[in-house]
Amino acid sequence: MSVAPESASKPVSEEPPGAIQCRAVVAMVGNPNVGKTSVFNRLTHLLAKTSNFAGTTIEKRKGVVRLSGDDAITLVDLPGIYSLQASSPEETVARDFLTGDPDGQPPAADRPDGLIIVVDATNLSRSLFIAREVLALGLPAIVAVNLVESARRGGIQIDVSKLSQRLACPVVGVSARTGEGFDALKSELQRMLRPVLPLVTIGGPMTAGTESAGVNAGDGASVDDEAQCGRCGGCPFADGHRWAATLARESTLDGGVISDETTDRIDAVLTHGWVGPAIFAAVMLVTFSLVFYVAQIPMTWLDGLFGWLADGATAILPEGDFRSLIVDGVIAGVGGVMVFLPQICLLFFALAILEDSGYLARAVVVIDRWMRRVGLPGQAFVPLLAAHACAIPAIMSTKVIANRRDRLAAIMVIPLMTCSARLPVYTMIAAMLFPSQAIYAAILFASAYALGMVAAFVMSFVFKRTLLPGEPSPLIMDLPHYRTPSLRNALRHAFERGWMFLRDAGTTILVISIAIWVLSTYPKLPEERFAETLASSGIVAEQLDQTDRENRFAAAAQEYALIGRAGKWVAPVFEPLGFDWKTSVGVMTSFAAREVVVSTLSILYGLGPEPDEDVSLHQRLSAAKNADGSPAFTTATCISLLVFFVLAMQCLPTQAVTKKETGSWGWAAFQFGYMTVLAYTAALVAYQVTDRFF
């Protein structure tokens, strides 16, 4: 409902071949928190392609803006920056994009033909600083004064024509929330890219071309002169900020300084010594409960959809290996992971709302002190929270951490957080341990979550002392004004994250699903061999009903296949943890995706691939006996299994993303290695201790 109708009425325009070359490129520049992305989203009708700037992990968003007639431009959203001094990776990327690479390499193919500089009407003096640096580059530019509508509500009127005179470029007041001023912005864009038209005659804003230098000189020097002064190591920052402050004062009609008494009062509470953390905990708890609760609904639909697909494929395809590959390998494997998509989208939707409102910056202030003690920067808390849905988008979102050491530390510990894929395993174990005690089951869940978090902080502390020495880079963060969050942006953000998850994880998941299917299908169990197995255990095949026979066959086939053999082969390794060989096979099959263990155990214990109810599985598991007649799943085994699954790195798609984001398989391998050792050791201790006392 909150997606503006025009995004529906304007179809996704596939770029006609060859059109990219001749289309003008316009880059958007501005501070973080000035609503640059909102302006971008409105101009491009929420259609953007996300990629990285070459050789970096900084996101580059690109979209097409339709102007009147057949005109269109490519719009590139540069990262939010405070200056072009290149003191951060974002600034370096933005500067290189605008000026061409300083190392003499040819400029990027999509070097901009023009610029949109976005400034914040509620804080002109701060946001104009970058405008001066950027205007000095000499590219054609338009200044978009965003948030005019909220400034107006705060009693601030921006004198757009005066600002335009002083800056010597067109200035348009816009509001990305209401859409105000966007028609004007688009016609300015069109005008800017058509130098054929005599600029000076067009009207108000443009007439200032000649006199502006003089006006600027009133503040000291013209834009160009001052930029040169910056090069000679004078005082470019002080000059720039004073210029911006003066300009802001002069082009603001009434009101002047926005009253931020309300902001102050809210901040006093939200960043208070102990009230702040308490509110933080409450906000996160409510957000998460809501996300997980609401996500259940679409997850059921998706589950149904994949079930329907599997049924459909079963009906259409002839029985045989190919059908099995499609149904049990591709549909079941991909469906098992895609089911988490609603959670991921909803979580990022909620986080976008929190960020847009201005709260997230305060949360970082509150949490930074605690995170720092274990060697993580405050900004890492967003990825760490997101990891509770899925580690993949969480690792992708560590892009917000500029410092490489800090980012690596965060990526390394993210998979220790309890992701949604662990929940089926927790559920199974809780059902075995506490079949009818919901309270204890809830405590078990909470402990598993806590164990993951504690392990993440402990490991991060260990890394700080060993592998990744040093302190996280000190916090410098802008605290934006509180704002009403934009649903439109949040939807856009959620969609983008979901799409990144599908795009980056999708192919990996497909390949892994097929590989696991091959390993658990071949070599195939010959019928006569199955008959022998039955006979040797004293079962008369003819007495079994059809389903029972099929389930027993599935169990025997799994045992006979490569993965079963591997499981039996490694079984002695897992024996000290209290796992029998069937559980060891489960651990093997779940190394690619942890939730697989549930279906593997279900098959191995003769329930067939899809038991009707979880209840039947836990009953079967609880009743399972070892060869000597003792129960296979004692309390100690269950605890040990739980601890192992909390801590182990059993997710190949995550490994692929770690490789991509760190740039090396080395880090992915290290992550796998340390987590496996940690999980094994912790499960061993858990088993030996609980076995002694229970």
Partner 1 sequence: MIGEIALDRLTRQSGQLAQVGKIVRLDLPDALANRLKAMGLFEGQDVAVSRGGNPMIVKAAGGKIAVAAELARQIMVQTEMSVTPFDRIGDVAGVAKMAGVAKVG
Binding site for partner 1 (CB under 8 A): 82-83, 85, 87-88, 123-126, 129-130, 235, 237-238, 241-242, 244-246, 248-249, 257, 259-261, 263-265, 267-268, 271, 273, 361, 364-365, 368-369, 474-480
Closest to partner 1 by CB, 125 or 175: 125
Closest to partner 1 by CB, 33 or 583: 33
Residue 447, SS3? helix
DSSP state of 378: G
- Nearest approach, Cβ of residue 401 and partner 1 (Å): 15
- Nearest approach, Cβ of residue 36 and partner 1 (Å): 16
The amino acid present at 409, given as its one-letter code, is: A
- Nearest approach, Cβ of residue 453 and partner 1 (Å): 23
- Nearest approach, Cβ of residue 241 and partner 1 (Å): 6
Closest to partner 1 by CB, 472 or 611: 472
Residue 180, SS3? coil
- Nearest approach, Cβ of residue 358 and partner 1 (Å): 10
Q: Are 335 and 386 in contact (CB under 8 A)?
A: no
**Strand ranges for 138-278 from DSSP E:** 141-146, 171-173
- Nearest approach, Cβ of residue 505 and partner 1 (Å): 34
CA dihedral 182, 183, 189, 190 (to 10 degrees): 160
Residues whose CB falls within 8 Å of the CB of residue 428, separated by 6 or more in sequence, listed in order: 598, 601, 614, 617, 618, 621
- Nearest approach, Cβ of residue 49 and partner 1 (Å): 29
- Nearest approach, Cβ of residue 230 and partner 1 (Å): 11
Among all chains, which residue has been given the structure tokens 């210029």? 243
Cα–Cα distance measured from residue 171 to residue 188, given in angstroms and rounded to the nearest whole number: 9
Pick the closest to residue 382 from 403, 404, 407, 374 (CA basis): 407
Cα–Cα distance measured from residue 25 to residue 77, given in angstroms and rounded to the nearest whole number: 11
Closest to partner 1 by CB, 106 or 474: 474
Cα–Cα distance measured from residue 30 to residue 129, given in angstroms and rounded to the nearest whole number: 9
- Nearest approach, Cβ of residue 149 and partner 1 (Å): 19
Closest to partner 1 by CB, 29 or 451: 29
Closest to partner 1 by CB, 241 or 399: 241
Closest to partner 1 by CB, 369 or 503: 369
Cα–Cα distance measured from residue 332 to residue 311, given in angstroms and rounded to the nearest whole number: 11
Closest to partner 1 by CB, 49 or 369: 369
Query: What are 518-523's contacts with CB under 8 Å, separation 24+?
Result: 518/329, 518/562, 519/561, 519/562, 519/563, 519/566, 519/589, 520/558, 520/561, 520/562, 520/563, 520/564, 520/589, 520/600, 521/321, 521/324, 521/328, 521/557, 521/561, 522/561, 522/562, 523/560, 523/561, 523/562
Closest to partner 1 by CB, 273 or 320: 273
